[in-house]
Structure 1
Amino acid sequence: MKILVVEPMKTPTVQEIDGSLRSMQELVGGTIQAVYPFDDPVALVCNDEGKLLGLPWNRALTDDHGVPYDIVCGTFFVVGIGDENFTSLTEQQIEKYKNKYSHEMILSVPKQPQAQKKPMKKEKHEYER
């Protein structure tokens, strides 16, 4: 089965997998979740626990106006949808999603260390002596 693999901070690549659950789980690094954010008969398959595991930000899911509404964390792939199973992407689908994901990436910003608060010295006032 021909799919488009999208890794964080990398250009998408076309890969062939056997279509088994194991091959899909290996690609995303865990249990899979399929989401259907496009009008085309394709699915975006990602790690079901990507956010919980703290996987790196990958790409944004956007509405019809290009406004982001969610972020996919970790490696995901785009695959065709058949009557009952996933199928290979068509050449047109490969080009469409390769173009889409080649030109958008999300940069993860490392957490800034929080400033240490120093306890304030309590000054004695005349009336406290």
Structure 2
Amino acid sequence: MKILIVEPGKHPREAEIDGSLESMQKTVGGYLQAIYPFEDEAVLVCDDESKLKSDTQWNRMLPETGDIIKGTFFIAGLGAEDFTDLSAELMEKYRQRFRNVELFIPTPNGLMPIVIRD
């Protein structure tokens, strides 16, 4: 399964995994949580318990949900009943969407993102 992996502090990268539960859990570092914030046939998959883990870094802000993803996540395509390859078009779209690295600084009003542009 072709996916786009987004790690904290890094640019997104294309990868291929076998699509098994084990390979997906290994990619995100824990139990799976699927989020559907996009209008496209795409899903964001992250670690369900990442916000409880103190050793996991904040990754990217999701304005679509008003949330911040913590830890590594990946974007996959949506099939009829399961996740599938992310199309080349959506791969490029989300590579650009998550291209800029984001750092987060704690403030009295919550986390403030600082975008690092190339």
- Range class of TM-score, shorter chain: 0.7 to 0.9
Long gaps (5+) in structure 1: 112-129
Measure the CA separation in 2 of the matches of 1:60 and 1:40.
Answer: 18
For 1:109, the equivalent position in structure 2 comes to 105
Secondary structure of 1:30's match? coil
Residue-pair matches, total: 106
1:33 pairs with 2:38 = no
Secondary structure of 1:94's match? helix
- Could you say which structure has the larger radius of gyration? 1
1:91 pairs with 2:92 = no
Deviation string 1:72-128 (CA, Å, 9 cap, x unpaired) is: 00000000000001000110000000001002x3213379xxxxxxxxxxxxxxxxx
Long gaps (5+) in structure 2: 108-118
TM-score normalised per structure 1: 0.78
> How many percent of aligned residue pairs carry the same amino acid?
52
CA RMSD of aligned residues (A): 1.5
More strand per residue: 2
TM-score normalised per structure 2: 0.85
Counterparts in 2 of 1:1-129, with a 5 A limit?
A: 1-54=1-54, 55-63=56-64, 69-103=66-100, 105-109=101-105
